[in-house]
Chains A and B, each alone.
Chain A
Amino acid sequence: MSDPKIEGFELEKGFRGMAKDTGSDQTMFKGVHWGKAMMWIFLLSDTFVFSCFLIAYMKGRASTPVEWPNPSEVFALDAFGVPVPLLLIALMTFVLITSSGTMALAVKYGYERNRKMCGYLILATALGGLTFVGMQAYEWSKLIHEGVRPWENPFGAAQFGSFFFMITGFHGTHVSIGVIFLFIYCYKVFAGHYDEGKRGWFTKMRGDYVEVEILGLYWHFVDLVWVFIFAFFYLW
């Protein structure tokens, strides 16, 4: 998390430190748990996947001579009889940010070995994620009822549907997987697996609260991707 301390050995900071870390014969990522490093590598590859989707969307939208559907109208929701632009999407954004905040606090309390706070905050995060997936399911069914299909839609350029279902569907899958793992980790925290150092299912590694941080990285990444989808797909 912060600078690691190795006895009798001073780690340099900044770019000199980077050069020394990279050139050293032991581990390159000093003081970083291997699971955390692997999660970062996975997230980097996932960044490429989502970038490919968003770049394909950008190119598709930029190169069609047919007018693109106005997202502000397509995603409007009636509140008390008045159509409010992007209402559901705004709510989804706030729900996801809230769950990201509770996750960050769960990581903090986990490192402080506050088992109950950590467990309840992970539970809150999971419920937030579940709410998000529910709202997305509602949004999908609403659009499908209005006749949006991957190959056509009543609002404008035909590509709109395929990009919409592909990008938000892939993001929703990530959220769903995250929710499943959040519930599992919530159980593990409450059961005290990380306090006792109980071994996991697939690994001999002893349980430690660093696993909560690794799960947190995944969850924040899901939020991060939503920031980009919100900006490029819904607002642009």
Chain B
Amino acid sequence: MEETKKKSDQSSTHKIGIYLWIWGLLFVLSFFSYLVDWYQFQGLLRWSLILFFMFLKAGLIMAFFMHLYWERYALVNVLLWPMTAIVCFVALMVAEGKYTLFSRLFYFFVGG
């Protein structure tokens, strides 16, 4: 037993409770996001609820299951900043999509 202890002390482990809590939370959040469809919420309420539950779930998985909460900032920042760039890309493509739709409607149906 003493030997086992010595071997494992290079990487301390976390209590089982935290994993079970996150696990339960993920179940509850998935259930809530399913309810969004079940009750057929529409429009802005639907989209904001979907995004809220999605980001909460993604954050919990990354922070605790993937251990990012306990990692040093050098690693965390290398991962999170490129993802911020993706968000900018999404914003650009939203504008682009609207423009494409506008020109399609304009040229296909109005006739230019």
CB distance from B63 to the nearest CB of A (A): 11
Residues A100 and B50 in contact, CB atoms below 8 Å apart: no
A204 CB–B CB distance under 8 Å: no
Chain A residues bordering chain B, tally (CB within 8 A): 61
A29 CB–B CB distance under 8 Å: yes
Residues A72 and B40 in contact, CB atoms below 8 Å apart: yes
Residues A217 and B74 in contact, CB atoms below 8 Å apart: no
* Residue in A closest to B19 when the chains form the complex, CB atoms: A104
Residues A227 and B37 in contact, CB atoms below 8 Å apart: no
Give the interface residue-count category, chain B: 35 or more
Residues A104 and B8 in contact, CB atoms below 8 Å apart: no
Q: Mark A31-58, 1 if CB is under 8 A from B, else 0.
A: 1100001001000100110010001001
* Residue in B closest to A33 when the chains form the complex, CB atoms: B11
Where chain B touches its partner, the secondary structure class is helix
Q: What's the Cα separation between A104 and B23 when bound, in Å?
A: 9
CB distance from A121 to the nearest CB of B (A): 11
- The residues in B between 67 and 83 inclusive whose CB is less than 8 angstroms from any CB of A are 67, 70-75, 77-79, 82-83
A26 CB–B CB distance under 8 Å: no
Q: Which of B11, B36, B83 contacts A111 (CB 8 A)?
A: B11
Q: What's the Cα separation between A117 and B66 when bound, in Å?
A: 19
24 contacts between A and B (CB under 8 A): A2-B70, A11-B72, A15-B73, A18-B74, A30-B72, A47-B83, A47-B86, A51-B86, A51-B89, A58-B94, A62-B94, A72-B37, A85-B37, A86-B34, A101-B20, A101-B22, A104-B22, A105-B19, A108-B16, A220-B61, A224-B58, A224-B66, A228-B58, A230-B54
A residues adjacent to B (C-beta < 8 A): 1-3, 11, 13-15, 17-18, 21-22, 28-32, 37, 40, 44, 47-48, 51, 55, 58-59, 61-65, 72, 85-86, 90, 93-94, 97, 100-101, 103-105, 108, 111-113, 210, 213, 216-217, 220-221, 223-224, 227-228, 230-231, 234-236
Known: A63-B96, A216-B65. 7 other contacts (CB 8 A): A15-B73, A17-B74, A29-B72, A65-B105, A100-B61, A101-B26, A224-B58
B residues adjacent to A (C-beta < 8 A): 4, 7-8, 11-14, 16, 19-20, 22-23, 26-27, 30, 33-34, 36-38, 40, 46-47, 50-51, 53-54, 57-58, 61-62, 64-67, 70-75, 77-79, 82-83, 86, 89-90, 93-94, 96-98, 100-101, 104-105, 108-109
